[in-house]
Every structure is written in C-alpha cells, then in structure tokens.
A and B are shown apart, each in its own frame.
Chain A
Amino acid sequence: MVILPGDLYECKVITGTALLWRSAMRYALQRRWQTVLNILGITVGVMMVVAVDLANNSAREAFDKSLELLSGQITHQISGGSNGLPDALFSRVKTELGLQKAAPSLRGQVRVNGQELTLLGIDVISEAAMQRSRPGLPDQVFAVTGNFIAAVGSDSSVVMEESLAQSLGLSQGDTFSLRTMNGSHDAELVAVFQSQDEAATGNLILADIAAAQTLLDRPDRLDSIDLTLDDTAVAQLRSWLPANLMLVEVQGRNDNLQQMSEAFHINLLAMSLLSLLVAGLLIYNTVTLSIIQRQQTLGIFRAQGVTRQQVFTLVILENAALGFIASVLGVVAGFLLGRFLVTMVTATVDNLYFELPVTTFFVDPRVLVKGLGLGMLLSIASSLLPAMRAALSRPVTLQHQAAVNSEWQKRLHLLAVPGILLLIGGRVMLMPEYGSLVTGFVALTLMVFGFCLLVPGLLYLLLQLLLMISQRWIGLSGVMALRNASSAINRTGLAVAALCVAVSVTVGVGVMVGSFRGTVIVWLEQSLPGDLQLTATSADTLQEGFPVELLDELARTDGVEGLYFSVLQDVESEFGPLRLGVNAIPALEKFYLKEATDTGLSDFDTGQGIFISEPLAYLEKIELEDSINLLTENGLRPFTVKGIFFDYTSGIGMVQMHDSLYERYWASQAPTRLTLEIKRSNDEESVQTAVREILSTYGSGFSLVSNRQLREITLQIFDRTFAITNVLRFLAILVAFIGVVSTLMALQLERLREFAILRATGMTPWQVSALILKQTAVLGFCAGVLALPLGLMMSEVLIDVINRRSFGWSMQHFLPESVLIEGFLLALVAALLGGVYPAWRAAKILPAMALREE
C-alpha cells in the first residue's frame, strides 16, 4: 500500500480532532461537579425565561380573549356608566338609524353550585349581523347538542360550554338555581356547546338578553350596545344620542388596558432576563476557567500542530454542546414551572385589572424555541472570548497564567472607563420624565453592565483597602488570602461581578416591593378612614339610599362617634370608565395628596374642583388646573383638577369629588355608602354587633364591613399580587448561588497546585483549608458590599422609572433593612459554600503527587 502525503495529512487531522474531543470529554467528566453546576446555571436561567414567558403568554392570551369575548372586534360602544342604558335605545338604533352592526350586551356575576361565573346576555341574531366571532363561541351550530336557538327570546334559558356544565353537574335540559346579589332564579340549561376555546368560555354562561335581564334582575337595561361604525355613522350617532349617554371608541379603551397588562409582563420578563445575564456571566467565567485549567493540555496540542482554528472550534462546540443540554433541561423545567406561574400571573391580572374567566395553560412553541435559542446563544457567546484567547495565544503563553493575571491588573482602568460611560449613559436615558418603558429597561441594563465592568476595579481597590487596614491583625494566611484574590483579579473579578448582579437583583426587587408595600400601608390608613362601612347592595337600597330612621338609630348607637355618606361608582369619561368617589369629609383629613394647587384643598371642599388619582394623571398626562370631561346626568361636563392623590387601587383611574359638587351633577343619585367612626374607647367588635342588630330590621339590602378588615384584605391582595415576584426573586438567588459556588469552586480548584506547594512548605491541611475559606469569605464580603449600591440603584430605577412608567404608580422609598442584610448574607454564605469543596480537596492533597511535575 502506498501512503500519499495527502492521506497522511487527512489522517493526522482526523486523529487530532478526535483526540481533542476525547480530551474535552475527559475534562468534563473529571470535573463533573463543575460541569453539572455549569449546566445547572444555564438551565435555571433558561427555565426562568421560558417559565415567565409561558406564564405571561398564557395570561396575555387570556387577557386578550376576555377583552375580545366581552367586546368583540368592534369600533364603538354606547355606554351609560354604572347604571347601564335603557334597552329601548337599542331598538331605536336599529329601526330609526338602521345601524345593522349593533349588538346589545348585559352581564353580571352569578353563583351556581358555589361557583362564581359570568352571565353574558347577548342577542345571537345581532351577533350574526355584526359578523364578529367571539373566541370560543360556536360559529358552527352543529357542534351544539340540544337546541341552541331555544334560548333566543326566552327569559329563563341559558347555554354553556360542555366542560363547565360537567363541572357544575348539569346536563342539557336540567333546571338549576342561579344566585345573584339580589336573590335567586331558576334557569334551564337548554343547550351545551363544545368550545373551540375553553379558555374563553370556561367560566361563562350565555343567555339571551331577555333571560339576562330576568336572571340578573335588571329589567329594561343593557350594559352597552356594541357597534361597528364608519365615520359618517359615528357623526350621525353622536348627534342623535341622548346627552346622558356616550359613544366610546373601543380600541382606545382596550389599548389602555392592554398597555397596562403589557407593562406588568415586561416587569416580569425583565427579572427573568436579569437572571439570564447572571447566567451569562457565570458561563463566561467557567468557560474561561476551564480554558485555564486545560492550558497545559491545550498548549501541548498547539505545540504538536493543532491549529488555532481547531482549538477555537473545540471550545465553541464544547460549550454549544453543554449549552444545548442545559437549554433542553431548562426548557423542560421552564415548562413545568410555567404551569405553576400562570396561576400566579393570572391572579395578579385579576387583582389589578379585572377578573379573567380563564386559566388555561397556553403553550406557544415559539417560546420553547426561543428559550432553547437563548440558552445556546448565551453559551456560545459567553465562550467566544475565552475561545478566541485560547486560540490566539501562543503555545507558550497558554502555560503562563501569571503573565495573564498581571496584564489584567494593568488593564483594570480600561474596563472602568466604559463602565462609567455606560452608567452615565443609562442615567441620562432615565432623565426625561415621561420616557418610554422600553428606554427604562434599556437604561437599567446599561447601568447593570456598566457596574459589572467596574466590579474588578472596585474589587481590586477594596482588597487593597482591606489589606491596608487589616494587615496587622489577620496574620500571614489572611494577607495571603487577600493578595491571592487581588492577583487573580481577572478570575475573582468576574466571580464577584456575577455574585454581585445576582444579589443586587434580589436586593433591588426586595427594596422595590418593600417600598411599595410600605407606601400602600400608609395610603390605606389614610384612604380608608373610619371604622365600619355600610354599603347598599340591593336594587332597592341602591335606588333609595339609606332610610332616615336607620341613620337616626345608627347615630344613637353607643360607641358610634360619627357617620358620613360616601359614593363609589363608575363614571364614563373622555378616557373611558373611571371610578368616582364622593364624600363630605374635608380634603385635608382624607387625602394622601401628591400635589395640589395652592387653594386646592379649599376648592375641593367648596366643590370647585376635583382630585384625580396619580395613575390617571400620569397615563393621560393631566396636570393641575386642567379640566377633564365626565359623563354626568346632564351629559359630558368639564371638571377642573385641583389635586392629584396617590392611588394604588386598580387599573382604571379614579376621581374624587366633594359631596356638594356631586349633588349638582348627579341629583337623582342617593348615597350608597355610609362610614361609621367608632369612639376610641369602644371595642369595634361590640359596636359592629350592635350595628348588625339594627340592620337586621331593615332587610337584606345592606352589607357591613369593617374598614380594618378591608385594609387587611387589601394588603393580602397586594401580597398575592407580588407573590410571583418573590418566586422569581428566589430563582434569581438560586442562579446566583449556583454561579457563585461554581465559580469559586473552579477558582480554588485551579490553584490546588499552589496549595500543594504551601503544604509542602509546611502548612497543615487545616491551615490550607482555612486559607481557602478565608479567601472565599473575603470575596463574598466584597460581593455583598458591592451588591448593595447596585441593588439600591436597581430599586431606584424600578420604583421611579419602571413602575411609574408602567402603572403610573409612584411610591415612597422604604428601605427594609432585612432585605439588605439578607442580600449581604446571601453573598457571604454562597461564597463560603463555594469554598467548602476546594477546601476539603486541598486538605486531602498529597503534596508529592501534586508537585510531581514541578
């Protein structure tokens, strides 16, 4: 056989590549703990992104569906505020104006077999003319068993989705009892349908308008008339409509709601991306370390003729493989976690905006692919730099780590300069007060990156400082620990930066949530004054208000110090529906004002102006002395804004006005709420019992709640709302933990030979272990110290920019010390844990074996 030179060359390349791969494999297996940690870091990062993404998507899907289901694809809506509108108007719209694309709706909450459901009254014939499809509702009647049409025009027939009927234990033809606030009615389930989309219909009972009016006790009323109109029809309808009704553009309203839910989703996504950033730093760090650990092997390969290209490819492919495994695991874990998170996100949307009839887990395959891609990309991108270094270095330098380290120390300022620039850039981006949410996040990211670049420099300075201060007390091993950490600043700097970002995320979010909670507590105490609250709940009492005799009796009750009326209702405005609060308490005692005009308080009390909530002012860019239009009993009327108060209640804005002003524009409305103040000397419980006794003689049209309980409930809702934040915070900590343990472990393992020398020169195993632990403790300490300013900076941005831009909420800064201490301890414990295994290994080292090659 003749071997040609070309064959030889081929032969060599093949064995060379195979050898390289085998070497990489052996390395991964030998350092399996490090490999596992490395994979775990990416896995958790990817898991967070995927889970949050899936949960967000499901909630958003549900949110959109609900909007669509309730309003459909329509352009306008005739709406009459909280009282609805007379149904005769609908017939006139169709017969006098000939508007074909008009459909009435009436809805309310009902309770069936203990389950809270939405009853939606529609006219299917009008729906057909609207040519809109409401998601989930059958557009193929043949999927319907039973007579769907039988519900049309009947005052007791209802229709529902099959699985809902099953869960209620009902089948077609059954008669069942349906409870509303005002009593109960019998309804017949005349048909069930199979939904194309259970997400949209799983909580919905459908009925004809006739049945909805009867079952909800709202005769002759509609909530709204949905319309699809062109411009001429809009003008025609506007001039035709009675003054107390309003034609609202639907798109704007939905946009507003969607925008707010979007902001919430972005908030969550930002948190998951921050932890991915941490995971990225972690990967970069470990890949670099793995290169350094294999410097000898790689150096030998290079010396034997393996090309730079091959070394580069090896490192990249190796990490791509690891990244792939980790990402797949991350996607699977994210899928599982997402199932859990979706209920939490949905609960938040429920609490903040409106009830979602849904919680179906919606899996968009793109999210899974995105998670996979992000994980891979991150692994490859973070290994790019180390791979290049490995490839570009000469065979000799690869073997001299010390040279690299000293080079790094000289270059720290080169990192610091762009770091400072990024910080300044981020800060500048935050300057305009009304900037967009996206710029807010970009700025935050820039600032975090900038800070990361500063970390090695700051760490170096910090270590020098520590060395200076403590040289005298810490002894030789302490000095060694500090010197070592600062000489390997390129490694330790990264580890500390990763730990720092991770811990700062927990600190930042912790401070943000804490501040928010603190603000809410203060606000609650001021906005829910009084002790007991009596609310009219039945149709009669809502209409008539409180009987005079009842008021007399209450005023005479022992322990009652004072009582005053209030109103809380929906009101249509140029910005869509708003909450309107009314009472006669002087503004000074009631409001937690953000700002007001000079005469704002007295103007309010004399009915010359109104106060609006901060979110409304922020989102609609309303300023003091602006006027806004509200739909009164006499049509749209302008009201001057005299003050802006803090408010954290709901997605829709709130307006407050004094009783005297309200009476002028809503003359026919009786007050529906009564607040009782209890003398300090009396026990709330006993007064409450006395009031209940009085109420029992006035029928069932009133409900009594304790404002203290209400405050507690509100706080509970708040905590539930932010429960998901805590889950994510915990996960961010987990990523940080893994990152730190893995980085520090690698750092110390790399230096086992140094420890062997120390052992050979007379140090006891215990002394070596202590040295390692001391060093990791120092690094943990530094990371903790550096994480606090970064965390506070983050919380600042989250509080003042992100949440303000998303929700229009501004809050006071509360600094929960526990969060800071937690963060600091977290850094320290993580660091120490990272040192345990290397310390154990170093103690067991046999100097002779380790130094055989020296």
Chain B
Amino acid sequence: MNKRFFLISLLLLVACSNGEEEKITQRLSAADVLASGNVEGFLRASEARRFEFPQDHAAHPGFRNEWWYFTGNVETPAGRRFGYQVTFFSSAIRPEADNSCLENNAWCTNTIWMGHAAISDISTEKHMAAEIFSRQEPGLAGARLDPFRVWINDWQLFSTGNDFPWELEVITDEFALSLSLAAEKSPVLQGSNGLSQKTPEAGNASYYYSITRIETRGQIYLDGQRHEVSGTSWLDREWSTSALGEDQTGWDWFSLQLDDGKEVMYYQLRDTNGNAHPSSGGNLTSLMGTQSAITPQQMRLEEQAFWQAPDGKQYTTGWHMVFQENDWLIQAVFEDQLMDVTFQYWEGAVEILDTSSGTVVGRGYLEMVR
C-alpha cells in the first residue's frame, strides 16, 4: 500500500510551512515527491520477514515511514451512526546513523509525526477533521512497546500491558473520542506474507498487516454532548522506505466489513490517465480468519456516482464491485467526507449493499487520493 506514503512524504516538505496547500500541491506532483525521496541509509522491505506480535505493534526504526491507521463505524444505543478515522504517521528525516546526538541532547531527533483524526456524523451529514504535527523528541511523540503506547502530544493509543485491549484517545478543538479497542481476529498479513510490493523494483515495498475486525466501545464528544458508542474498527499497520512508481498518481482503497463475518481489503492504484494500474490487489478474510488474495484480474470495479471537491477534484462516491461470487454496491454514507487538512484526500464511511436485493450487507471505509 502506497497511500499513506504519499502523505508522509509531503509532510516533510510542508512541516514548516503555513497553509498555502494549494500552491504546494500544484507545484508538486506525487511523482515529483516520490522520485526525490532519499532512500539511502534507510532500511528497506526487500524480502519477507517473520512478523511477531505484540512486538510489531511498536515502532520499526530504520525505515523511513510508518503508520497506525484506524477506521471504524460505530453507533449509539439509539442508532445514531458515526464513522471515525484516527492515524498516527511517523516519518524519519535522516537515517539513524548514530545515537550520540540524543545522548547529549534531549531534543535530538530524526523523526517527525503527523496525526489525522476525523468524525463523520452520519445523521447530520457533517464531517469534521483535525491534524496534529510534532517532532518525536523530547518525549513529544513516539511508539513504544512496554507498556504499549503510540502518541503525538496528547493524542494517544495505549494499553496497560503490551497487547490488546487498547485505548484510543484524541482531543481536538471540534470533537474528542475515547475508544476501547479489542481485536476480534488475529493480524492479517497483506501482500505476500506481509510484504506488499509497490513497483517491480526490489525494496520498493512495505511491510503491511491489518487487524480487520476490532470490537470498539467508548465515547464520542461532539458539540458539548457525550455519545456512548459501540461498533467495529479496522487497523492498518505499515512501515517502509518505498516510493510511488512514476506512472502512479493516486489510488482507491477499500476496507469492508461484511455482516456475515468476512472482511475485504482492496486497493487500486491509478495511473496518469485515471485508469487502474496493474500493481493493484487485495485480500479476503473469512469468518475464521483464513485469507485469500484478490488479483486485479478477478476484480471488476465500476465507478457510478461522483462528487466534486471545492478544489475541482472529482471523487467517486458510488462503486459497483464484482469479484468471485460477490456483487456489491459500495456507497458513501454521504458525499462530503473530504479530509480538509494540509494534504487533502477523501476518506469516509461507506455502506455495502447487495446489488440484486438492495439490502445492506456490511459497512466499511473508503479512501481516495487524487
């Protein structure tokens, strides 16, 4: 998966700038950024590795980028529904050559963090987003194992031990959320045993695992009101020193949780003409946790409904997805779920409908980067 890589690379370039995103994005195409990304001295995901848990929940220093990416659909006992997203991104400015600097000075750091949080209030069709930036040291952000804690200032994901259950706490100016997360399934290794190849070039890959079904309970604070909520979340974990291919400009990414206990992850890279790039793919997780790959040849994705963002970019809010025996309509719960932060993208809650009967068969999240 390349999707968040793009964001993290741009982060480096605007970390010390204020606003003016438009100018920046106009001047920098994704390809420019990734082509100029310096990979020298960083570790690379060039071969399959053994994943170990809970160790792999913590940071992997030496790689350039890493993230903890939560999405989920929750609702109140009265049936008021919310979608949420919380992400911790970390990005290294320099390869960690030696640690002598940090020994002498607590402010020495080579890592910068960015957090994104959003809530989709489905009943009012209101989407709220927030972001946070921080350097890692001195103790301002980080990810450690024992006890487990990933944090950016006062946004944090933590546990009393080093594994689930986890607590996720985020406070922004507009909203806050405090959620308890308990994994219902074991981690799913994406790509080939957790090695997700981005382009044919060796090392241009990431280590990628997901926890596709996480039982979620807690509170959402909005407009001075507290909402008790429960539902299901999805975690994506990825670390890499990779770059987008020159002919890749964006992507669509689906995380779908079916009511019958299945989960589907599928991403489609888009080329400069807006068509699907061959380096696409996905994974189906069964109720019991067994996995099977979904190849681009097996997948038919049709774009059916569109929404135009204020900056003129067009996002697809209605999809027709057909693969194996499945024939679904995937619809955004409402159109404007644009992440209006320093780097804009669309990330929102979706419903999965059975095409023939029109009944809702699951929920999920959709991300589109254009």
Q: Measuring CB to CB, which residues of chain A are less than 8 angstroms from any residue of chain B?
A: 87-88, 90-91, 94-98, 100, 123-129, 131-133, 138-142, 148-150, 152-155, 208-210, 213-214, 219-220
Shortest A98–chain B CB gap in Å is 3
Determine if B112 and A125 form an interchain contact, defined as CB atoms under 8 angstroms apart.
Answer: yes
In the complex, chain A residues whose CB is within 8 Å of the CB of B109: 152-153, 210
Q: How far is the CB of B63 from chain A (nearest CB, A)?
A: 17
Contact A210–B107 (Cβ < 8 Å): yes
Instruction: Other than A138-B16, A149-B12, A152-B15, give 4 A-B pairs with Cβ distance below 8 A.
Output: A95-B153, A124-B15, A128-B18, A138-B17
Within 8 Å of chain A (Cβ to Cβ): is B140? yes
> Is B341's beta carbon under 8 Å from chain A?
no
The docked-state distance in angstroms from the alpha carbon of A133 to that of B151 is 27
Tell me the smallest distance from the CB of B96 to a CB of chain A, in Å. Answer: 11
Whether B12 and A139, one on each chain, are in contact in the complex, defined by CB atoms closer than 8 angstroms, is no
Whether B154 pairs with A97 at a CB distance below 8 angstroms is yes
Shortest C-beta distance, A150 to chain B (Å), equals: 7
- Interface size counted on chain B using CB atoms at 8 A: 37
Q: What B residues does A213 contact at CB under 8 A?
A: 105, 107
8 residue pairs, one from A and one from B, having the closest CB atoms: A98-B154, A210-B107, A153-B109, A124-B16, A94-B153, A91-B139, A209-B107, A155-B105
Does A94 lie within 8 Å of B134, measured CB to CB?
yes
Inter-chain CA distance A565–B19, complex, in Å, is: 54
20 contacts between A and B (CB under 8 A): A98-B154, A125-B112, A127-B16, A128-B14, A131-B19, A138-B17, A139-B20, A140-B20, A140-B23, A141-B14, A141-B16, A149-B13, A149-B15, A149-B93, A150-B94, A154-B101, A155-B101, A210-B101, A210-B107, A219-B105
Cα distance A90–B106 in the bound complex, in angstroms: 12
Q: Can you list, as one digit per residue, whether each of B87-118 has a CB less than 8 Å from chain A (1) or not (0)?
A: 00000011000000100111111111000000
Chain A residues with CB below 8 A from B27, complex form: 142
Complex contacts, A149 vs chain B, CB 8 Å: 12-13, 15-16, 93
Chain B residues lying within 8 Å of A100, measured Cβ to Cβ, are 132, 153
Q: Are B108 and A154 in contact (CB under 8 A)?
A: yes
B133 at the interface (CB under 8 A from A): yes
CB of B57 closer than 8 Å to a CB of A: no
Contact in complex: B135, A123 (CB < 8 Å): yes
What number of A-B contacts does a CB cutoff of 8 Å give? 111
Q: When each residue 295-306 of chain B gets 1 if its CB lies under 8 Å from chain A and 0 otherwise, what string results? A: 000000000000
Q: Are B17 and A214 in contact (CB under 8 A)?
A: no
Residues of B within 8 A of A94 (CB): 134, 140, 153-154
- Is there contact, CB below 8 Å, between B107 and A125? no
Residue B171 at the chain A interface, CB threshold 8 Å: yes
Is A153 a contact partner of B110 (Cβ separation < 8 A)?
Answer: yes
Closest to B172 in A: A100
- Residues of chain B within 8 A (CB-CB) of A150 are 93-94
B19 contacts across to A, CB distance below 8 A: 131, 139
Q: Which chain A residues border B16 with CB–CB below 8 Å?
A: 124-125, 127-128, 138, 141, 148-149
Answer yes or no: B138 CB below 8 A from chain A CBs: yes
Q: Which residues from chain B contact A220 at a C-beta distance below 8 Å?
A: 106
Closest to B154 in A: A98
Assess whether B47 is interfacial by the CB under 8 Å rule.
no
On whether the beta carbons of B151 and A95 are closer than 8 Å, the reply is: yes
Instruction: Quote the shortest CB–CB distance from B133 to chain A (angstroms).
Output: 5
Tell me, rounded to whole Å, the shortest Cβ–Cβ distance linking A227 to chain B: 14
Query: Which residues of chain B come closer than 8 Å to A127, judged between CB atoms?
Result: 16
CA–CA, A214 and B102, complex, Å = 11
Shortest A69–chain B CB gap in Å is 15
Contacts of B167 in A (CB 8 A): none
Instruction: Assess the B138–A128 pair: CB atoms within 8 A.
Output: no
With A and B bound together, what is the CA distance between A163 and B250 in angstroms?
A: 40
- Whole-angstrom distance from the CB of A241 to the nearest CB of chain B? 17
Report B169 CB to chain A, min CB distance, Å: 10
A residues in contact with B135, CB < 8 Å: 123, 125-126, 152-153
